[in-house]
Amino acid sequence: MTKILSEMQRAEKGIIKQIRGGKELLARMDSLSLYIGKEIELVSKQSKRGPVVVKLGNTQVAIGSGIAQKIIVDVK
Question: pLDDT digit string (tens) for 7-38?
Answer: 999 999 999 999 999 999 999 999 999 999 99
Question: What pTM does this model have?
Answer: 0.93
Q: How confident is residue 5, by pLDDT bands cut at 50, 70 and 90?
A: very high
- Domains of the chain, CATH where assigned: 2-75 (2.30.30.90)
Estimate to the nearest angstrom the gap between the alpha carbon of 7 and the chain centroid. 10
Is residue 11 within 8 Å of residue 76, measured between CB atoms? Answer: no
Is residue 72 within 8 Å of residue 19, measured between CB atoms? Answer: yes
